[in-house]
Structure 1
Amino acid sequence: MIIVMRVGSPEEEIVRVSQEFKDWGLAPEKIVGKHKVVIGLVGDTAALDPLQIQEVSPWIETVLRVEKPFKRASLEYRHGEYSEVAVSTPEGFVTFGRNHPVVLVAGPCSVENEQMIVETAKRVKAAGAHFLRGGAYKPRTSPYAFQGHGESALGLLAAAREASGLGIITEVMDAADLEKIAEVADVIQVGARNMQNFSLLKKVGAQNKPVLLKRGMSATIDEWLMAAEYVLAAGNQNVILCERGIRTFDSQYTRNTLDLSVLAVLQTLTHLPVMIDPSHGTGRAEYVPTMAKAALAGGADSLMIEVHPNPAKALSDGPQSLTPERFERLVQELAVVGKAVGRWSQVAAALA
């Protein structure tokens, strides 16, 4: 349930109204929009009469029920306003959101050694990337596949951050590693295989670093948004959704089926920013540029592209990784699309 306050509502009245709802046993959450303040009511509101709530204050404009099972993630919860996730990086804040330029994230699947990760970071930064992606801990289908270097790789990511000025996005697999990952990462990723690891989602939601939540391989959109709800309900409001392809009946030509329809669907359902990962979505480097441009044209707020200096020798996901040279050309191609749809930053445009 949300309460929309009138334009110009005094702050002391908003505080008083919020306190009254707390006295009712509810959890009010203040959401400041461009023109109005909205108070989200979380708790057992099923039996509450909107007219009864309306009588709490003359400054209440309207009372609306949130019909979706995902309350905080719902677009209704923010009264139709899309949220922004501003991330602190060594070179300032970068903002993910519907009304901001597309954010480019690039880097290898796994952190292999210092020379590789630092070289890749410098190359993707020069091409126009804002964040470096790289796995220290890697969930793999086979127990015999490369699992990442673990804690030692976090130090290599820190070195790449220092050398390039890029923000860092890396995955957490175990809540026991969360604190040390948060010391290095600017955004903490929850991977597809952990999308419904609810105890992990609660722990990630209880810390203050922004969270990138990848869609599970067979997850419905409702399940994905309910997973985001776990993070939001735990207190972390800075959540970015990432579509990385889902499992369908055809795996002969692509690794997954990249569901670009989510860009249109999510725009009607949620206020959260949306990233597209065409690398995992297709699994083949030759398809990545086409799908990246399609995603940008379709309204993606961010793109995650796997880049490796020598894909043929990559320890993981080499077939879907672009070379730095191909990534540079892709950014130039993206610039054309991005400028056409009004989603390209001046800095990225200059680099492109």
Structure 2
Amino acid sequence: MIAVLKQKIRPQQLEVFLNELTATGAIVYPVQWGEQSLVVTSPLSSAAVGVLDRSPLVESTIDTGSVFQLTSRCFQRKNTVIHVGDARIGDGSVAIIAGPCAVESREQVAAIAELLHGQGIRLFRGGLFKPRTSPYSFQGLGFAGLDILRELKARHRFVIVTEALSERCLKELIGTADIIQIGSRNMQNFSLLKEAGGAGIPVLLKRGLAATMDEFLLAAEYLMAHGNSRVILCERGIRTSCCHTRNTLDLSAIPYLKEQSHLPVIVDPSHGTGRSELVLPMARAAVAAGADGLLIEVHPSPADALSDGHQSLTPDLFRRLVEEVDRVAVAVGTRLTRNSPPF
């Protein structure tokens, strides 16, 4: 249950109200939602309902009828649009976030930046911290790569998307990153979700390796319950018995999530398939299914990539993807977001 509070409530009044709810056995989460003050309560006993009904502080209540609250379409009917600089995600167009799996060098980043700039792509994704299965695989440049992203941002005015693996990592990235990615392996890292919820920066949340939709949306709920209304959901494939692809890309997640939630939904066909030759057709399919955006890995020379070269597109394949996705977007009544260089 979500209680929408009236304006101009004194701190002492709020404290008394929250104590009354807590005394009924309810778990209480005060949330500031833009200019609106909310209280999310769970579980809701008849005694708690009574407190809500008779309190003069409550403007209205919303029963979402589900285990998730702030992420629910019942809470907010209108689609959430994420504004980051001049970029928009969730506004009805299709955004492309692209870049290397891992930032390797200034030369590599410069080559990809030129490619993206030429295609009118504003959102640059590059990993500094890589959670690899093997401890002997390339783990990313770490904090040493921050200067590369800072220089890229200053020169080309890209919106920077990069992954945080820990609370310390998150704090160090703020100021350089415009969107923080929380990866599949960290989808249920609850301490990181809480920290990111209060960080004041948009979060791109990837679905866990075998997460259900409820688990995925409840992970987003952690972010929102801690004050972050700017959350992007990313379907990136799940682990199944199939072995012909790295993961099984669940495109049914797109319409399902958009029915259940107001949050924008993007798709990562690079990790979803793990095979560069499958990225283009699955990107087209994702747009046709209603995705708000795509997360695409690209590398100047995939064969030489230090991480995930097998699923990274060459520059020529990336240009082809942009053109094909643009045509599909128009066919289904939307458009691809592209900025005319210079940005």
Q: TM-score, normalised by structure 2?
A: 0.87
Pairing 1:110-189 to 2, within 5 Å after superposition:
110-189=102-181
Pairing 1:133-282 to 2, within 5 Å after superposition:
133-251=125-243, 253-282=244-273
- Aligned partner of 1:325 in structure 2 is 316
State the distance in 1 between where 2:50 and 2:167 align.
44
- Aligned partner of 1:94 in structure 2 is 87
- Aligned to 1:43, the other structure's residue is in SS state strand
Provide the aligned C-alpha RMSD in A.
Answer: 2.7
- Aligned partner of 1:85 in structure 2 is 82
TM superposition shift of 1:254: 0.8
State the distance in 2 between where 1:295 and 1:197 align.
27
Q: Would the alpha carbon gap of residues 18 and 127 (structure 1) be closer, same or farther in structure 2, given more than 3 Å must change?
A: farther
Matched, 1:337 2:321: no
State the distance in 2 between where 1:323 and 1:347 align.
19
- Structure 1 unmatched runs, 5+: 6-12
TM superposition shift of 1:31: 5.6
Q: Is the 8 A contact 1:118 1:164 kept in 2?
A: no
TM superposition shift of 1:183: 2.0
TM superposition shift of 1:47: 2.6
- Aligned partner of 1:47 in structure 2 is 46
TM superposition shift of 1:222: 0.8
Q: Is the 8 A contact 2:197 2:224 kept in 1?
A: yes
- Aligned to 2:75, the other structure's residue is in SS state helix
State the distance in 2 between where 1:48 and 1:18 align.
23
Q: Is the 8 A contact 2:73 2:261 kept in 1?
A: yes
State the distance in 2 between where 1:52 and 1:208 align.
32
Q: Would the alpha carbon gap of residues 162 and 38 (structure 1) be closer, same or farther in structure 2, given more than 3 Å must change?
A: closer
- Aligned partner of 2:22 in structure 1 is none
Q: What's the CA shift string for 1:75-114, capped at 9, x where partnerless?
A: 1122x222121112xxxx21211x3311110011000100
- Aligned to 1:264, the other structure's residue is in SS state helix
State the distance in 1 between where 2:112 and 2:12 align.
51
State the distance in 1 between where 2:11 and 2:78 align.
21
- Aligned to 1:95, the other structure's residue is in SS state strand
TM superposition shift of 1:324: 1.3
TM superposition shift of 1:19: 9.0
TM superposition shift of 1:306: 0.4
- Aligned to 1:77, the other structure's residue is in SS state coil
Aligned-residue sequence identity (percent) comes to 43
2:253 partner amino acid: V
- Aligned partner of 1:10 in structure 2 is none
- Aligned to 1:160, the other structure's residue is in SS state helix
Q: Would the alpha carbon gap of residues 280 and 347 (structure 1) be closer, same or farther in structure 2, given more than 3 Å must change?
A: closer
- Aligned partner of 1:75 in structure 2 is 73
State the distance in 1 between where 2:300 and 2:155 align.
17
- Structure 2 unmatched runs, 5+: 19-27
Q: Is the 8 A contact 1:122 1:163 kept in 2?
A: no
TM superposition shift of 1:320: 0.5
State the distance in 2 between where 1:223 and 1:176 align.
25
Q: Is the 8 A contact 2:33 2:227 kept in 1?
A: no
TM superposition shift of 1:38: 8.0
- Aligned to 1:188, the other structure's residue is in SS state strand
Q: Would the alpha carbon gap of residues 176 and 28 (structure 1) be closer, same or farther in structure 2, given more than 3 Å must change?
A: closer
Bigger drift between 202-211 and 303-312 goes to 202-211
State the distance in 2 between where 1:177 and 1:308 align.
25
Q: Is the 8 A contact 1:118 1:159 kept in 2?
A: no
1:83 partner amino acid: T
Q: What's the CA shift string for 1:217-264, capped at 9, x where partnerless?
A: 11111111111111111111111111111000011x211000000011
1:187 partner amino acid: I
Q: Would the alpha carbon gap of residues 193 and 52 (structure 1) be closer, same or farther in structure 2, given more than 3 Å must change?
A: closer
Q: Is the 8 A contact 1:248 1:256 kept in 2?
A: yes
Q: Is the 8 A contact 2:29 2:225 kept in 1?
A: no
State the distance in 1 between where 2:338 and 2:116 align.
14
State the distance in 1 between where 2:199 and 2:36 align.
24
State the distance in 2 between where 1:288 and 1:238 align.
27
2:84 partner amino acid: V
- Aligned partner of 2:17 in structure 1 is 24
Q: Is the 8 A contact 1:21 1:28 kept in 2?
A: no
- Aligned to 2:46, the other structure's residue is in SS state coil
Q: Is the 8 A contact 1:242 1:275 kept in 2?
A: yes
Q: Is the 8 A contact 2:31 2:226 kept in 1?
A: no
